[in-house]
Amino acid sequence: MITWQERRAVPLVQQSLVQAGALLRTWSRDPGIVVQSLVFPAFMLLMFQLVLGETVTTMGGGDSVYGNTGLVALVGALFGTLATAITLIHERDTGLLARMWTLPVPRAGFIAGRLLAEAVRAGLATAVLFAVAVPLGFRFEHGVLAGVGALLVPMIFGVGIAVPVLALATVASGKGAVQQLGGLFLLLLFFNGGFAPVDQYWGWIQPFVRHQPMTPAIDAVRGLTEGGPVLAPFVTTVLWTVGLIAVFGPLAVRGYRRAAEQR
């Protein structure tokens, strides 16, 4: 017998898939999002590896291509969330969000669909990045299943970051407020365990570098591909994601409802 919870879950899943599919189709037709999601990370990886690869490798911690690939995959996930937020602001300002809010479908599916689309986008971008990294020496040393696990890490990370970004987007007065997050993302880009080994940073900043959310995610990608610890960094990445959802998820839901009902 199907319970009432199961009957409610079916339309929610359907609406989430529909919303995710619509967003992915919209993003695929936007040259800016395509470049930011696929072309820019590939270019960044090439530049990092060609300019800094040998230097980072000599610092210790393994072949730099593994750390750089994980780093750039997460950077792509970070900046990809900005595109999601800007799309949401556009929908709010044009009234599209309010019109969709009146549809007789589970409203939670709108946010769930955005997060699902963000995860898929991050996964596709990471797959392309892995393909670009192979000629640079990147290998799946522990097999295909471990490679799939490495692909999942940026997807999990991207969902966690997307929630606070969406929460901000629902209350932002314009796109500029969201774009200012780029400064914070640049800080995370240059101070993590993929850009350089943690012990190469100044002592006073090492705790931040070691515990900020990008470092365990990079370590997880490295461990699943080159080798090294996997369980601890992967669990830490999941905990970061769960924590961000727990803290900012209610804010995102309330902000989304308010933004839709104000039009």
* Higher-confidence position of 238 and 69: 238
pTM for this entry: 0.86
pLDDT at 2: 39
* Higher-confidence position of 79 and 232: 232
pLDDT at 47: 81
**Exposure class string for 4-24: b at 16+ Cβ within 10 A, else e:** eeeeeeeebeebbeebbeebb
pLDDT at 9: 54
Predicted confidence band of residue 105 (pLDDT cuts 50, 70, 90): low
Categorise residue 95: left if φ over 0, alpha if ψ from -120 to 50, beta otherwise: left
Distance CA 84, CA 46 (A): 25
Q: Mean pLDDT check: name the lowest of 68-77, 189-198, 247-256.
A: 189-198
Q: Considering the chain, what percentage of its residues have pLDDT values greater than 70?
A: 86
pLDDT at 233: 93
Distance CA 251, CA 263 (A): 19
Contact yes or no for 151/126 (Cβ under 8 A) = yes
- pLDDT for residue 10 is more than 70: no
- Taking residues 152-158, report their average pLDDT: 94
Max Cα separation, the chain? 62
* Higher-confidence position of 179 and 156: 156
